[in-house]
């Protein structure tokens, strides 16, 4: 469960990222230099990873910890591991 502090921080960051994405679209429309566009895409990806990190931290601190304390932690741990490596190239 996302608490208000995490919710506020995440939404604030996502609004900034939304602006970044619109800026990238404008760069493409205006045929800006490809490397500049790729650099902006990379920055947006990093920003999204930052939001994911905030939410994942909260998940571990609340949902996973609660499940472990109730003796039901293995399912949450498995879910966490699956999520962490779902899109990994490694």
Identify whether 62 is part of a domain: yes
Identify whether 39 is part of a domain: yes
Identify whether 25 is part of a domain: yes
Residue 76 CB partners (closer than 8 Å, separation 6+): 63, 64, 67, 68
Identify whether 49 is part of a domain: yes
Provide the residue range defining the domain that includes 69.
4-85
Give the C-alpha distances (Å, rounded to integers) separating 74 from 20, 45, 69, 88. Answer: 38, 30, 11, 21
What are the tens digits of pLDDT across the range 42-88?
Answer: 999 999 999 999 999 999 999 999 999 999 999 999 999 999 898 77
Q: What is the pLDDT of residue 89?
A: 63
Q: What is the pLDDT of residue 87?
A: 75
* Domain CATH for 77: 1.20.58.1000
Identify whether 90 is part of a domain: no
What are the tens digits of pLDDT across the range 13-41?
Answer: 999 999 999 999 999 999 999 999 999 99
Given pLDDT bands bounded at 50, 70 and 90, which one contains residue 1? low
Counting the structural domains of the chain, the total is 1
Q: What is the pTM of this model?
A: 0.83
């Amino acid at each position: 469960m996302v608490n208000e502090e995490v919710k506020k921080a995440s939404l604030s960051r996502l609004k900034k990222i939304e602006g970044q994405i619109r800026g990238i679209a404008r760069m493409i429309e205006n045929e800006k230099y490809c490397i500049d566009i790729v650099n902006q895409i990379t920055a947006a990806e990093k920003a999204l990873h930052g939001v994911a990190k905030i939410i994942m931290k909260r998940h571990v601190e609340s949902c996973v910890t609660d499940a472990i304390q109730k003796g039901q932690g293995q399912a949450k741990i498995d879910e966490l591991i699956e999520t962490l490596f779902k899109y990994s190239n490694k």
